[in-house]
Amino acid sequence: MTATDDQFSEFSATRRLILKGAIVVTLTGLGNFSFGAVPALAAANDKWPEEAFKQKGQADAIKALYGKTAEASDKVKLDAPEIAENGAVVPVSVTTTLADVTSISFLVADNPNALAASYNIPPGTIPSVANRLKMAKTSSVTAIVEAAGKLYSATKEVKVTVGGCGG
């Protein structure tokens, strides 16, 4: 971070406060609606997989999430840049020709916690997801596709020259 940016860190702090305030406003302002959101998430019959997100290593995270291991498959197409322009925003997407996909996950092996995101794919939803991830440093990025109860994966190395964890 440059000296100039430090000079304005006060503003970031202010912005954070405003944001926090805004969330409080949203909560109170929405009243019943905010309660509405939670059952909707619960109804999806899926709790946030805390254990899997807590794991440091990739293998442990996959095990905690799925309880099994994945095999590499050329039917899983992972798209990620060769060199990330900035580790804070790395566009990563996956698509697959596999049938009966129920879940897609993204892992960054060398991040402090390997599991980045996991998506539940209900029947009728196309097994193709694009998102933007943070990468602390150069690492392999793995996409896991769960199809018909089995795990398939694709991996790609992404070089990171500007880390996405600040500092």
Q: Which of residues 50-89 bind another protein (CB under 8 A)?
A: 53, 81-86, 88-89
Name the nearest CA neighbour of 106 among 154, 142, 53: 142
* In contact, 155 and 142? CB cutoff 8 Å: yes
| Total number of residues that touch another protein (CB under 8 A) | 75
> Residue 123 carries which side chain, given as an amino acid letter?
P
Decide if residue 97 touches another protein (CB under 8 A). no
Give CA–CA dist 145/165, Å, rounded: 27
Instruction: Give whichever of 88 and 98 is closer to another protein, judged by the CB atom.
Output: 88
Instruction: Give whichever of 46 and 157 is closer to another protein, judged by the CB atom.
Output: 46
List the one residue from 17, 33, 59, 157 that touches another protein (CB under 8 A).
33
Candidate segments 67-75, 130-138, 147-155, binder of another protein by CB under 8 A: 130-138
* In contact, 78 and 153? CB cutoff 8 Å: no
